[in-house]
Structure 1
């Protein structure tokens, strides 16, 4: 969509906060020591949890990197943007551009996962890092900034070890970092972020996105962080014998694809013993500890610069990781280890924990509100500001995620996953089965609950499509869409009113 100027009536507050968004990649919800996960070593995330507001029931809008990030940064679900998978999304308007237009200096350090990769996307300055096993250079293209850093020092990014290492499948993606620490992608990102904080000049408020690549596979922690997990008891994987017999065929297809794919992501958890899973988890958790250390250094740099105390700092991950649960690895499907993610917001005077359902779609409106920037009507999240200010706020009834042809809706009691174009789907009674082991999609005893959920899904999808139609027409700001109002007349509500149906 074409960029346009801010509405003329917008007035900026005098003292706008610096805004820091720190994102990890593929970090599941149960990976924070302060959240009761005593097997984790995360002192700096723990500090954020102590000083900020922990949203313990936060869910991402997509089950893979780009589907989720495109939705987070545009404020619109895939059915509006068309970004259901690894699609180009750089042409869409995003709220970083709104911050830019409102006078913020915007910097990206690390992974944003724009597609195309090198667009500005509203940022004035970017240090671009993609997945560590990215092969753009090998395929004749230009490398990212981390890859150039390696090349300038006579190093190469690791790739194709499934071909060169005969024991690759036995390592289950657990491979400690093999070069000097400074060459690790997350160390590079953390160091670059700290250098930027210390050296940036200018008097504008800043928006800074720091995107760590970890703990995306392969799980390559610094060795000294892996050593911290030696001898630690690991959580058992969640599974049951014959579980996938009652699940849609895509679940076994994912198993087979990952076991046969000809790149470094090859993994076959069906042949893994419990000790193998334990070793895999130690590497994954230690990878988070590596990120945690750099997060602490970024916070220290913010403190030294005098930026931390009055800033809005948001910490989250784009999606989670199955880590052997359900005899599966990685993402793609809508299990809670994939869609349930960490979210902590640090803001002056705000601390505590929230158990209401929230979505990462709420990050954009929260940031825009804090910056004094009008939230576009097409943004389908809502600001978390009332939680941060200690005000009463009615929790969401449902959260939603879309990825490829899967559509997930979840409340605190049920999860439904609709597969577009096929009869099979997923339905879980979360009160009785929080681990999602028993699929009730075809169970006649819950047919009434399933029908009600499908009706709710239809109501959400049609409402969302209608309300976002202004964006699809190329409009921005107030949509002036008609909506049933107090008089229920065809002309609907006035342009200053918004629907209040629980979805928006």
Structure 2
């Protein structure tokens, strides 16, 4: 029997609370709702990195930042990816849209790439040719909209939210969706397919076409969550981040310190509208798969690389470890057969680091030793797995997060002060308990858990760092001896 096609859709900077079927009634997402209603939703899914490159490098290598060295905007195309493992197992591997490779045009295991990077990526500045979206615009007599800060005299007041200036079909998310449909309509289906579709939205600037903005005219958009005195009990980097984006003149300038609730709500409508544009393109992709007779042999995975604060805590974008910044939507639908778990919501903690092992499991591809996640296939088949994760982890520049169902600790590298939250009492993470004596023992326990995790992770992946090979031997300690060399490693979860 032919191996299943794998379609992996990943948006950029989409928060967890942006799908109607997951309980967020202000959203217009009928096709994401279909995936939720017909598949399995992981409602407590977390990114392994708090920024685009760090998270994507971790997702596609299957290793956390401390093992690849990719903590932010670092090169990572020299690392192994599980895409290469799929290709070696006979899959035709195609990327359409954003991958955020570094270097940008590296193959990263794919046979074909149709590249559409950040909306405001200035390729000429770095001496590079335009990506495929840029070439598409040029071919139609248009230019990439690079300098919106110069186009609008009140740009700093707009919070990065404006309508798309050109025809709808020229929007980068339209381009990615349309290109994927055209590619599928011409696919000869001689091999099993791995298709990664990377939508650059809803990453800022929040610039959907006006048609989608109009859909949210009367929407009841949730207000941003913050406390007026938050920064007094938070690490100083948070205030610095707010002020840097407020005062630095560039396209990403955004002033949440002085923005009123209506300004933020308007910006959030633009963000939601961009997601609805992407949702429409997902519907067209599903229709193309079905028309071409591929859907019935396809496993579809949908997620985002990280979230967006959208003014929560009066902070911009990502970079930190709040749930809106690194908790993401994550759904799997196996179209090959109806399943008793269809429509099920899984509240167990999972990480996007689990995507690689899950896909390799579906395709019966041998899993390299260094992959740090666990396959989630039993959730789709049975609705549960043995020994669910107690903790998820996220890393980025100078930060490491450990989060359980009830508590979160954020450790700031080489600093005495950090963050600690009781999520049962404070789900919006407004009250930092780092210095609260009542939580002293819990903070110590989480530090020890984090140390145990990172020590095992570094040790077991030492072989990969030495050889960059898929398999290597490690020395596992024994009670009555120095240790044996073993192929592979014990379960790290």
TM-score under structure 1 length normalisation: 0.94
The answer to whether residue 191 in structure 2 is matched with residue 210 in structure 1 is: no
Find the residue that maps to 1:309 and give its secondary structure: helix
Task: Name the structure 2 match of 1:3.
Answer: none
C-alpha contact (below 8 Å) 1:413/1:429 kept by paired residues: yes
The answer to whether residue 390 in structure 2 is matched with residue 397 in structure 1 is: yes
Aligned positions, number: 487
What is the Cα deviation at residue 138 of structure 1? 4.7
After the TM superposition, which of the residue ranges 26-35 and 476-485 deviates more from structure 2?
A: 476-485
Mapped to 1, the partners of 2:394 and 2:126 lie a distance apart of 33
What is the Cα deviation at residue 266 of structure 1? 0.5
What is the Cα deviation at residue 466 of structure 1? 0.3
Q: Select the residue among 436, 443, 452 that pairs with 1:443.
A: 436
After the TM superposition, which of the residue ranges 168-177 and 104-113 deviates more from structure 2?
A: 168-177
Task: Name the structure 1 match of 2:53.
Answer: 66
What is the Cα deviation at residue 365 of structure 1? 0.3
Mapped to 2, the partners of 1:414 and 1:47 lie a distance apart of 32
C-alpha contact (below 8 Å) 2:8/2:196 kept by paired residues: yes
Mapped to 2, the partners of 1:307 and 1:137 lie a distance apart of 39
Q: Select the residue among 190, 204, 218 that pairs with 1:231.
A: 218
Mapped to 1, the partners of 2:80 and 2:145 lie a distance apart of 34
Find the residue that maps to 1:141 and give its secondary structure: coil
Task: Name the structure 2 match of 1:328.
Answer: 315
1:88-99 aligned within 5 A: 88-99=75-86
After the TM superposition, which of the residue ranges 137-146 and 275-284 deviates more from structure 2?
A: 137-146
Distance 1:90 1:488, change over 3 A: farther
Mapped to 2, the partners of 1:338 and 1:253 lie a distance apart of 17
What is the Cα deviation at residue 263 of structure 1? 1.9
Task: Name the structure 1 match of 2:365.
Answer: 373
The answer to whether residue 142 in structure 2 is matched with residue 155 in structure 1 is: yes
Q: Deviations over 1:74-114 (max 9, x none)?
A: 00011110000100000000000110111100000000010
Task: Name the structure 1 match of 2:350.
Answer: 358
- What residue ranges of structure 1 are gaps of 5+ in the alignment? 1-13
Q: Select the residue among 163, 178, 188 that pairs with 1:201.
A: 188
Task: Name the structure 1 match of 2:267.
Answer: 280
Q: Deviations over 1:136-162 (max 9, x none)?
A: 135542111000100111101111221
After the TM superposition, which of the residue ranges 134-143 and 366-375 deviates more from structure 2?
A: 134-143
Q: Deviations over 1:15-59 (max 9, x none)?
A: 310000000000000000000100000000000001110001000
Task: Name the structure 1 match of 2:490.
Answer: 499
Q: Select the residue among 63, 67, 71 that pairs with 1:76.
A: 63
Find the residue that maps to 1:298 and give its secondary structure: helix
Mapped to 1, the partners of 2:316 and 2:469 lie a distance apart of 40
Q: Deviations over 1:223-265 (max 9, x none)?
A: 1111010022211211111011100011001101111223211
What is the Cα deviation at residue 444 of structure 1? 1.8
What is the Cα deviation at residue 172 of structure 1? 1.0
Mapped to 1, the partners of 2:313 and 2:403 lie a distance apart of 19
Mapped to 2, the partners of 1:494 and 1:378 lie a distance apart of 14
C-alpha contact (below 8 Å) 1:425/1:441 kept by paired residues: yes
Distance 1:404 1:392, change over 3 A: closer
Distance 1:449 1:255, change over 3 A: same
C-alpha contact (below 8 Å) 1:484/1:493 kept by paired residues: no
What is the Cα deviation at residue 475 of structure 1? 4.7
Mapped to 2, the partners of 1:55 and 1:276 lie a distance apart of 32
Q: Select the residue among 313, 335, 338 that pairs with 1:349.
A: 338
C-alpha contact (below 8 Å) 1:387/1:393 kept by paired residues: no
Mapped to 1, the partners of 2:406 and 2:152 lie a distance apart of 45
Mapped to 1, the partners of 2:142 and 2:127 lie a distance apart of 18
What is the Cα deviation at residue 388 of structure 1? 1.3
Find the residue that maps to 2:395 and give its secondary structure: strand
C-alpha contact (below 8 Å) 2:226/2:314 kept by paired residues: yes
1:450-465 aligned within 5 A: 450-465=443-458
- What residue ranges of structure 2 are gaps of 5+ in the alignment? none
Mapped to 1, the partners of 2:63 and 2:9 lie a distance apart of 20
Task: Name the structure 1 match of 2:162.
Answer: 175
The answer to whether residue 98 in structure 2 is matched with residue 101 in structure 1 is: no
Q: Select the residue among 414, 432, 435 that pairs with 1:421.
A: 414
C-alpha contact (below 8 Å) 1:225/1:289 kept by paired residues: yes
After the TM superposition, which of the residue ranges 129-138 and 66-75 deviates more from structure 2?
A: 129-138
- Coordinate RMSD, CA, aligned: 1.3
Task: Name the structure 2 match of 1:41.
Answer: 28
Find the residue that maps to 1:270 and give its secondary structure: coil
After the TM superposition, which of the residue ranges 315-324 and 436-445 deviates more from structure 2?
A: 436-445
Q: Deviations over 1:173-201 (max 9, x none)?
A: 11111101111000000000000000012
TM-score under structure 2 length normalisation: 0.96
Mapped to 2, the partners of 1:264 and 1:457 lie a distance apart of 37
